[in-house]
Amino acid sequence: MAKRKLFKYAQLLTFDNIFQPPNRQDADDFFMKGHWHTKFFGNNNPITLELGCGKGEYSIALAAMYPERNFIGMDFKGDRLYAACKSATEANLKNVAFIRNQIQFIERFFIQGEVDEIWITFPDPQLQKPRQRKRLISAEFLYRYKNIVKPNATVHLKTDNIPFFEDTVALLSELNQNIEYITRDVYADAPEDPVLSVKTHYETLFSSKGFRINYLRFRLNLDDHAK
């Protein structure tokens, strides 16, 4: 492993805005589960969760825009989270935290109703058929999210990948989810929206190559019998 990565992994231990629970299937629920408001944020403000947050560009930008809300970014890449923690610390943002773990274990970290909103920004589209069940918007993951969010919570998706986006639209329709807003070209349809104008590292790369950015917002409302 490169020395630079080893340095970043070591530095992660020095930040007070990062949590690194054991990353295994049989691990116990995380001690912060059900206590994010009291043990970290010190308020009852709504929590927005960003999944696959990378370097934390969205979580950090939204935390600065909305000091009356709390934000948690989650990713497994330690070097990326090092950049996120460093940026949030340097900006003195007390309303943002990060979790280093795999998203498939999401239910270990939050109780039902603890999360108000989810952002999924430029996830791996998992285009190969056998891997599509690992998509962060798949039936399996949506039901995991249901176990941590408030009823009818808002979920946002941003991606440059057209096949993944169209599959997602079809899945949400099949599951009778309420898509509130959809665009296949964010910067043509909503150029003045400050939230949608936030760019992650990957979005910057894709946009520079001429890719259009797709976005949708929907309400997560899954009946138990629909699983």
**pLDDT tens figures, 12-36:** 778 999 999 888 888 899 999 999 9
Per-residue model confidence (pLDDT) at position 138: 95
pLDDT band at residue 11 using 50, 70 and 90 as cut-offs: confident
Count of CA atoms in the C-beta half-sphere (13 A) of 57: 14
Per-residue model confidence (pLDDT) at position 48: 98
In 3D, which of 207, 209, 154, 167 has the Cα closest to residue 185?
207
Interval 83-98 mean pLDDT? 97
This prediction's pTM: 0.93
**pLDDT tens figures, 200-219:** 888 998 888 889 999 999 99
DSSP annotation of 103: G
What are the residue boundaries of the structural domains of the chain, listed by start? Answer: 3-12+46-226
Q: Reply yes or no on domain 3-12+46-226 having CATH 3.30.300.20.
A: no
pLDDT above 50 for 227: no
pLDDT above 60 for 41: yes
Q: How far apart are CA 191 and CA 14, in angstroms?
A: 38
User: Among all chains, which residue has been given the structure tokens 């935290």?
Assistant: 97
pLDDT above 70 for 3: no
Q: Residue 4 class from Cβ within 10 Å (0-12 exposed, 13-18 middle, 19+ buried)?
A: exposed
Question: Which entry of 124, 185, 189, 193 is annotated as an active-site residue?
Answer: 124
Please indicate whether residue 206 or residue 106 has the higher confidence score (pLDDT): 106
Catalytic residue at 124?
A: yes
pLDDT above 80 for 116: yes
pLDDT above 90 for 43: yes
Please indicate whether residue 3 or residue 114 has the higher confidence score (pLDDT): 114
Interval 138-166 mean pLDDT? 96
Please state the length of the chain: 227
Q: How far apart are CA 144 and CA 135, in angstroms?
A: 12
Per-residue model confidence (pLDDT) at position 206: 84
Per-residue model confidence (pLDDT) at position 1: 54
Q: Characterize the bridge pairing of strands 47-51 and 70-75.
A: parallel
Q: Where are the extended beta strands (E) located within the chain?
A: 18-19, 47-51, 70-75, 96-100, 115-121, 149-159, 178-183, 214-220
pLDDT above 50 for 225: no
pLDDT band at residue 224 using 50, 70 and 90 as cut-offs: low
Check: CB of residue 182 under 8 Å from CB of residue 169: yes
Within 8 A by CB and 6+ apart from 91, the residues are 60, 64
